[in-house]
Amino acid sequence: MTAYYAAIVTLLASLAIIALALLVSSKRFPSAAAAAATSTVYRIRSIYFVIIVGVAIIVLAFTLPITPYSNTYGKGKPDVTVEVLSEMWSWTLTPGPGARSAEGNLVLPVGKVVDFEVSSKDVNHNFAIYNSTGELVAQVQAMPDYTNHLFHRFNVPGHYYVLCLEYCGVAHHAMYSEFDVK
């Protein structure tokens, strides 16, 4: 849902910017000397400065603590571990403690915190999880020489897909995998 909210906020802001531009450039306001017109503009600018700095601080205060860099679902160990190894142009998902495999497919439990240990054998890839309706659920880069830990809790059972979201060569678009959450 984050994407939809962010898109709506951007759309509303864009409309507000266009409305402001129409207002500012409107010929309905009589021409005035620069000093008279700019004194109004600069008064509004002072108010705007206070508002924008205030809004920036508030949004930073709310959003910085919810970064995806730590296990925000609860301190301590995750419930499930999955090793994710990428290479041009395939994913290997190996179930660790708490996960299992059924008919060659990874199966993860609902409602448990999963630690995806993501790395790459060759170039940069991006481990992006989509649900079956095509919504992007979570993502992290898969890098050579480093292991990135993506913590995620699946609250909805179903079939999930892994796409690559970092351009990685001629078959980048065809690099995918799948798993189930039951």
Partner 1 sequence: MDDERYTHAIRRVTQLWVWTVPILFLVLVLLGLILRAGQAGIIDTDADLFYAVMTLHGLGMAGAAFVAGFAGVTYLLARYVRVNLAVAWLMYALTVLGVVGIVIACLIGRFGPGWYLLYPLPFLAGGAWPHWALGLAVASLIVLGVAWLLGQIDVFRALVTRYGLTNVLAWQYFGKESTGRVEIPPIVLISTAGCLVPGILTTIDGAVLLMLYLFKWFSPALTLNPLLLKNMVFLWGHTLVNITMYLGVAMVYELLPKYTGRPWKTNAIVAIAWNAVLFLVLLAFFHHLYMDFAQPVSLQYIGQVASYLSAVPATVVTVFGVIGQVYRSGIQWRFVPLCFFLGVIGWVIGGFAAVVDSTITVNSAFHNTLWVPAHFHTYFLVGYFLMLWGLLYEFSGSARETLAKIGLWLLVAGAYGFLFMFYLGGALGVPRRFATYSSIPIASLAASSQSIALIASAFVVLLIIGLLFVFGVIYAGLANRSSASKAASPVH
Residues 92-121 that bind partner 1 (CB under 8 A): none
156 makes contact with partner 1 (CB under 8 A): no
List the x/- string, 17-46, binding to partner 1 by CB under 8 A: xx--x--xx---xxxx-x-xxx-xxx-xx-
d(CA 65, CA 60): 9
CB-CB contact of 89 with 174 (8 Å): yes
- Out of 54, 60, 92, 157, which residue is the one contacting partner 1 (CB under 8 A)? 60
- Out of 48, 74, 111, 158, which residue is the one contacting partner 1 (CB under 8 A)? 48
Q: How far is the CB of 35 from partner 1 (least distance, A)?
A: 9
d(CA 39, CA 170): 58
Give 148's strand partners: 118
- Out of 91, 130, 154, 179, which residue is the one contacting partner 1 (CB under 8 A)? 130
- Out of 86, 128, 153, 181, which residue is the one contacting partner 1 (CB under 8 A)? 128
Tokens of 63: 């959003």
Q: How far is the CB of 75 from partner 1 (least distance, A)?
A: 16
d(CA 143, CA 114): 19
d(CA 88, CA 169): 8
